[in-house]
């Protein structure tokens, strides 16, 4: 009634498999080759991935990837935006591979970051270091509007303004509504519109 191929039980129960003296040796050799391959993979991985440890108070750069997008980079796009933000101060170590950072509240991301997304601040060969000024208060800096976005909601549309602060990097930029701009809203919006009309 047709062809019936051998099953696994037929092969295991056959006399040839039981009488073959090289079968246990082949299994040992296969296991050894798998162990050698695993060790060589570990060797090549460990050559480029060294464990990094930081102390509280160290300054690190945050690698921006999908999910960690600063407001200014969102308008440019991920490919053309900056790759790192910071430097940020480490406040404490959490577990073996995570650290708590002083991140601006405008980012709205969790402040505990994996060590895989952190890079040490580059060492300056000339020994020039900027003194750490303490926690940065954006309210102490002059504001300027650099971009505008119209958002649609069920009740209508409203404008949000990308505000940058003088003397601070783009990681401190934030999107604000006219109400959040406060008393300076009209002056800031007028200066932005006059600059955009000129260009």
Q: Are strands 157-165 and 143-152 parallel, antiparallel or unpaired?
A: antiparallel
Supply the pTM of this predicted model: 0.53
Chain center to CA of 33:
37
* Lookup: tokens for 159: 């404008």
**Chain region(s) in the chain for CATH 2.40.50.40:** 138-198
For residues 131 and 9, give the distance between their C-alpha atoms in angstroms, rounded to a whole number: 75
Question: Could you give the CA distance from residue 150 to residue 166 in angstroms, rounded to a whole number?
Answer: 24
Helix (H) or strand (E) holding 131: none
> Which of 71, 37, 46 is closest to 145 using CA atoms?
71
In CATH terms, the fold of domain 138-198 is OB fold (Dihydrolipoamide Acetyltransferase, E2P) (2.40.50)
> Looking up tokens 């950072």, which residue turns up?
101
What pLDDT sits at residue 168? 73
Residuewise pLDDT in 10s, the chain (199 residues): 667 777 777 766 665 555 667 778 888 999 999 999 999 999 998 888 777 889 998 889 888 876 666 666 666 666 777 788 878 889 999 988 899 998 877 777 888 988 988 988 877 667 666 655 556 666 666 777 777 777 667 777 777 778 777 777 776 777 777 777 777 777 777 777 777 777 6
Tens digit of pLDDT for each residue in 124-182? 667 666 655 556 666 666 777 777 777 667 777 777 778 777 777 776 777 777 777 77
Can you tell me the distance from the alpha carbon of 90 to that of 112, in angstroms, rounded to the nearest whole number?
10
């Amino acid at each position: 009634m047709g062809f019936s191929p051998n099953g696994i039980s037929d092969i295991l129960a056959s006399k040839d498999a039981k009488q073959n003296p090289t079968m246990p040796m082949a299994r040992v050799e296969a296991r050894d080759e798998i162990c050698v391959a695993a060790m060589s993979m570990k060797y090549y991985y460990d050559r480029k991935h060294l464990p990094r440890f930081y102390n509280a108070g160290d300054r690190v750069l945050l690698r921006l990837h999908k999910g960690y997008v600063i407001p200014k980079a969102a308008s440019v796009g991920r490919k053309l935006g900056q790759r790192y933000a910071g430097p940020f101060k480490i406040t404490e170590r959490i577990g073996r591979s995570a650290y708590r950072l002083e991140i601006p509240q405008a980012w709205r991301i969790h402040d505990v970051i994996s060590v895989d997304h952190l890079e040490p601040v580059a060492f300056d060969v000339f020994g020039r270091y900027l003194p750490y000024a303490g926690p940065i208060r954006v309210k102490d800096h002059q504001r300027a509007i650099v971009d505008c976005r119209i958002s649609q909601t069920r009740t209508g549309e409203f404008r949000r303004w990308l505000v940058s602060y003088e003397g601070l990097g783009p990681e401190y930029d934030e999107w604000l509504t006219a109400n959040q701009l406060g008393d300076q809203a009209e002056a800031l919006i007028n200066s932005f519109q006059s600059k955009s009309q000129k260009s």
